[in-house]
A and B are shown apart, each in its own frame.
Chain A
Amino acid sequence: MDAALIWEWIIKSVVILLVMTGGFAYVTLYERRVLARMQVRIGPNRVGWQGLLQPVADGIKLIFKEELTPVGADRLIFILAPVITVIPALIVTAVVPWGTEVNLFGRIVPLRLADINVAVLYILSVTSISVYGITLAGWSSNNKYAMLGGLRATAQMISYELALGMAFVGPILWTGSMSLGDIVSAQKNLWFVVIMPLGFIIYVIASLAEVNRSPFDMPEAEQELTAGYHTEYSGMKFALFFMAEYIKMIGVSMIGATLFLGGYQGPFVDAYPWLGPIYLFIKVALWLFFMIWVRATLPRFRYDRLMAFGWKVLLPLSLLYIVVTAVLRLLVGG
Chain B
Amino acid sequence: MITGILFFDVMAVLVISTSIGMLVSRNAVYSALFLVLNFASVAVLYVTLGAPFIAMAQVTVYAGAIMILFLFVIMLLGAERLEGESTIRGQRLFGGLLAVILLGELTWMAVFQSGLSPAALTMPASDFAGPTQIGLTLFNTYLLPFEVTSFILLVAIIGAIILTKTDNIGKRIIRPGKD
Residues of A within 8 A of B (CB): 74, 77, 116-118, 121-122, 124-125, 127-129, 131-132, 135-136, 138-139, 147, 150-151, 154-155, 158, 161, 178
Minimum distance in angstroms from B47 CB to a CB of chain A: 10
Count of A-B residue pairs with CB < 8 Å:
64
- Contact present for B29 and A77 (CB under 8 Å): yes
B14: chain A residues within 8 A (beta carbon): none
- Contact present for B76 and A128 (CB under 8 Å): no
A162 (CB) vs chain B CBs: closest residue = B65
- Contact present for A154 and B64 (CB under 8 Å): no
- Contact present for A139 and B52 (CB under 8 Å): no
CA A158 to CA B66, docked complex, whole Å: 10
Find A129's partner among B57, B64, B71 (CB 8 Å cutoff): B64
CA A136 to CA B64, docked complex, whole Å: 14
Instruction: Answer whether residue B44 sits at the interface, using C-beta atoms and an 8 A cutoff.
Output: no
- Contact present for B59 and A129 (CB under 8 Å): yes
B33: chain A residues within 8 A (beta carbon): 77, 136
A129: chain B residues within 8 A (beta carbon): 59, 63-64
- Contact present for B64 and A125 (CB under 8 Å): yes
B75: chain A residues within 8 A (beta carbon): 135, 138-139, 147, 150-151
Find A158's partner among B29, B36, B53, B68 (CB 8 Å cutoff): B68
Minimum distance in angstroms from A10 CB to a CB of chain B: 17
CA A129 to CA B65, docked complex, whole Å: 9
Interchain Cβ contacts under 8 Å between A and B, 6 examples: A117-B130, A121-B53, A127-B64, A128-B64, A129-B64, A158-B65
- For chain B, what secondary structure do more than half of its interface residues adopt (helix, strand, loop), or is it mixed? helix
Instruction: Answer whether residue B56 sits at the interface, using C-beta atoms and an 8 A cutoff.
Output: yes
A122: chain B residues within 8 A (beta carbon): 56
Q: Mark B37-71, 1 if CB is under 8 A from A, else 0.
A: 00000000000000011001101100111001101
A116 (CB) vs chain B CBs: closest residue = B52
- Contact present for B52 and A117 (CB under 8 Å): yes
A121: chain B residues within 8 A (beta carbon): 53, 56-57, 60
Instruction: Answer whether residue B170 sits at the interface, using C-beta atoms and an 8 A cutoff.
Output: no
Of all A-B residue pairs in the complex, the 6 with the closest CB atoms, nearest first, are: A128-B64, A121-B56, A125-B59, A125-B60, A118-B52, A125-B56
- Contact present for B59 and A118 (CB under 8 Å): no
B29: chain A residues within 8 A (beta carbon): 74, 77, 136, 139
A130 (CB) vs chain B CBs: closest residue = B64
B68: chain A residues within 8 A (beta carbon): 128, 131-132, 135, 154, 158
B65: chain A residues within 8 A (beta carbon): 128, 158, 161
B56: chain A residues within 8 A (beta carbon): 118, 121-122, 124-125
B108: chain A residues within 8 A (beta carbon): none
Find A151's partner among B52, B53, B72 (CB 8 Å cutoff): B72
Given A122-B56, A125-B56, A139-B29: A132 touches B36 (CB 8 Å cut-off): yes
Minimum distance in angstroms from B45 CB to a CB of chain A: 15
A76 (CB) vs chain B CBs: closest residue = B30
B72: chain A residues within 8 A (beta carbon): 135, 151, 154-155
B60: chain A residues within 8 A (beta carbon): 121, 124-125, 128
Minimum distance in angstroms from B128 CB to a CB of chain A: 13
Within 8 A of A (CB), among B93-152: 130-131
A151: chain B residues within 8 A (beta carbon): 72, 75-76
A124: chain B residues within 8 A (beta carbon): 56, 60, 64
CA A116 to CA B52, docked complex, whole Å: 9
B69: chain A residues within 8 A (beta carbon): 158
B71 (CB) vs chain A CBs: closest residue = A135
Within 8 A of A (CB), among B18-40: 29, 33, 36
CA A178 to CA B72, docked complex, whole Å: 31
Minimum distance in angstroms from B41 CB to a CB of chain A: 13
A118: chain B residues within 8 A (beta carbon): 52-53, 56, 131
- Contact present for A117 and B63 (CB under 8 Å): no
Minimum distance in angstroms from B68 CB to a CB of chain A: 6
Contacts A118-B131, A125-B63 known; list 8 others, CB within 8 Å: A121-B56, A121-B60, A128-B59, A131-B68, A136-B29, A147-B75, A154-B68, A161-B65
CA A150 to CA B63, docked complex, whole Å: 18
A74: chain B residues within 8 A (beta carbon): 29
B57: chain A residues within 8 A (beta carbon): 121
Minimum distance in angstroms from A68 CB to a CB of chain B: 22
